[in-house]
Structure 1
Amino acid sequence: MVELRDYQIGIAEQYAEYRNNPVIFDSGYDKVPNPFKLKDAKEFITIQLKKKPAHRKLIYWRNQFVGEIGIDIKEDVFKLSAEIGYFIAEPFWGNGIATKAIKLMSDYTFNNFNIIRIEAGVFDFNKSSMRVLEKNNFHLESIKKNAVLKNGKIIDDYLWIKLRERSDLNF
Structure 2
Amino acid sequence: MLFTLRPWTLADLPHLVHHANDWEVARYLIDAFPHPYTEADGQAYLAFATSPEMSRCIFAIEVAGQAVGSIALHPQADIHRRNAELGYWLARPFWGQGISTQAVRQMVDYGFETFALTRIFARPFGTNHASHRVLEKAGFTLEARFPHTLCKNGKVLDEWVYGVRRTGHSVPA
What's the TM-score once normalised by structure 2's chain length? Answer: 0.91
Deviation at 1:14, TM superposition (A): 1.5
For 2:49, the equivalent position in structure 1 comes to 48
Tell me the amino acid that sits aligned with residue 142 of structure 1. A
Deviation at 1:60, TM superposition (A): 1.6
Correspondences of 1:137-148 after superposition (within 5 Å): 137-148=139-150
Structure 2 spans left out of the alignment, 5+ residues: none
CA distance in 2, matches of 1:35, 1:132: 25
Deviation at 1:165, TM superposition (A): 2.0
CA distance in 1, matches of 2:20, 2:8: 15
Task: State the number of aligned residues.
Answer: 171
CA distance in 2, matches of 1:56, 1:28: 16
Deviation at 1:64, TM superposition (A): 3.5
Q: Secondary structure at the match of 1:71?
A: strand
Contact 1:67 1:89 in 2 (8 A): yes
Correspondences of 1:132-171 after superposition (within 5 Å): 132-165=134-167, 168-171=170-173
Structure 1 spans left out of the alignment, 5+ residues: none
Contact 1:2 1:100 in 2 (8 A): no
Contact 1:141 1:161 in 2 (8 A): yes
Alignment RMSD:
1.6
CA distance in 2, matches of 1:117, 1:85: 14
How has the CA–CA distance of structure 1 residues 64 and 12 changed in structure 2, closer, same or farther, with 3 Å as cutoff? closer
What's the TM-score once normalised by structure 1's chain length? Answer: 0.92
2:97 pairs with 95, 98, 112, which one?
A: 95
Deviation at 1:47, TM superposition (A): 2.1
CA distance in 2, matches of 1:18, 1:154: 27
CA distance in 1, matches of 2:74, 2:171: 20
How has the CA–CA distance of structure 1 residues 169 and 19 changed in structure 2, closer, same or farther, with 3 Å as cutoff? same
Deviation at 1:62, TM superposition (A): 4.1
How has the CA–CA distance of structure 1 residues 59 and 14 changed in structure 2, closer, same or farther, with 3 Å as cutoff? same
- Flag as ranges the 4+ runs of structure 1 deviating above 4 A: none
Q: Percent identity of the aligned residues?
A: 30
Contact 2:149 2:158 in 1 (8 A): yes
